[in-house]
Structures are given as structure tokens and as C-alpha cells.
Amino acid sequence: MNLQHLNVKIMAAEPLGVDPEVLIPVFHKWIQTKATKEMLVDVADYLHVPAGPGVLLVGHEANMSLDHGENRWGFLYGRKAVMNGDNLERMKTVVSSALEHCRRLEEDPALHGKLKFRGEDIQLIVNDRLLTPNTEAALKEWESDLKTFLNHLFKNSTYSYQRHSDPRERLTLDVKAGGSFRVVDLQTNLGTTS
């Protein structure tokens, strides 16, 4: 399996500590100051869409959003550009980028420390139905790399994952770790703490 177009959603602490609209100027500032490694292009407000993409930051390599899909708030990082390396390196790249942006939001002065993320509750989504259908066989093909990566991410703590069973959906896994993990904990586990 050649994983590309991988997405990760890191769930926000509930209740959400901020009005999602405050992310609009924050994301615009990221564009203006070139605050990330990615080339960022535009911000779109989808807060009017029930259980939708929330506030979307469009980028060249990836899209990011404070997402409300499935009626659960979280930071969604969706990689669009093709990545080099093996599946483990790709998972690390995508999750590390998402964690970096979550940490930036948690520390943003405009949010007054009110937006927090729960590293123990994430979703992994493969945004390519043709190459990676949402089947048990596709999960089995991914599983060895997935377990290796999750063991590293959660430092061998217990975890479980559940595949969304609807074959019309993208291959989506709800991952839950035992205990609690802050964003910085996961960055440390991946060796990406700045």
C-alpha cells in the first residue's frame, strides 16, 4: 500500500473553549506572516454548514481546518501534495504537521489558551477511495505500518482503533489511546518538539 493524501483530525477538548469564528483572523494572519512551512492561500468560512468543515485554511500542500465533521470539533490536516518516503515516514510527516499547527493554536495569544486538543483521540483518514477503499482488506494491508506508527506515537501505551464500516466513506479510523496525551507529549514521542 502506498499511502498518499493522508488526513489526521486531532479532537478538541469539549466544550470548545472559543467561538470558531475567531480562527478566521488567526488563519489570515498565518497566511500574511508565512507562519508555516506550507504555502497557504485562503481562508473559507463554512460555519453555516451543520457538522461541516468549520473554518478552512486552504494551502498548496495541505488544507487545514477547525473541523466539525461528525459533530466533533477538531483540527483537521489534509495532505494534498504527494509525499516521498515510506508509509511510516508519511504518517509521521502528516501527524507531525497537524500537531505543530495544533500547538500553534493552543499557544496563539488571540485565543488566550482556551483552545486545547486531546492527543489521545484522533482520526486517521486516507483520502483516496480508488487506491485505498474502505475495506477490511485495505486496513489489513496498512495494519503493520499503522501499529508500528501508533506504538511510537503513544510510546507503547494502550490504544485501540475502529474502522468506519460504511464502504461509501473514505478509509477512516477512530484511534483512542489509554490515558491522556497533550499535543506536546505526542510531539516529544515523535521527536518533533521545537
Q: Which range marks the domain in which residue 77 is found?
A: 6-190
Residue 1 placed within a domain: no
The HSE-up count of residue 96 (CA atoms within 13 Å, CB side) is 17
Mean pLDDT for back-to-back runs of 10 residues, the chain (194 residues):
92 94 97 93 97 97 97 97 94 97 97 96 94 94 96 94 96 96 96 77
Assess contact for 144 and 138: CB atoms under 8 A. Answer: no
Letter for the amino acid at 154?
A: F
Q: Quick one: pLDDT at residue 194? A: 60
For residue 96, being part of any structural domain is answered with: yes
Look at residue 1 in the predicted model and tell me its pLDDT: 79
Residues forming a β-bridge with 67? 74
**End-to-end Cα separation, the chain, in angstroms:** 31
Q: State residue 193's pLDDT score.
A: 73
Predicted pLDDT at 47: 97
The answer to whether residue 123 is domain-embedded is: yes
Q: Which residues contact 110 (CB under 8 A, 6 or more apart)?
A: 22, 25, 26, 29
pLDDT of residue 192: 84
Backbone angles phi, psi at 178, to 5 degrees: -70, 140
Other beta carbons within 10 angstroms of residue 163's beta carbon come to: 16
The total number of structural domains that make up the chain: 1
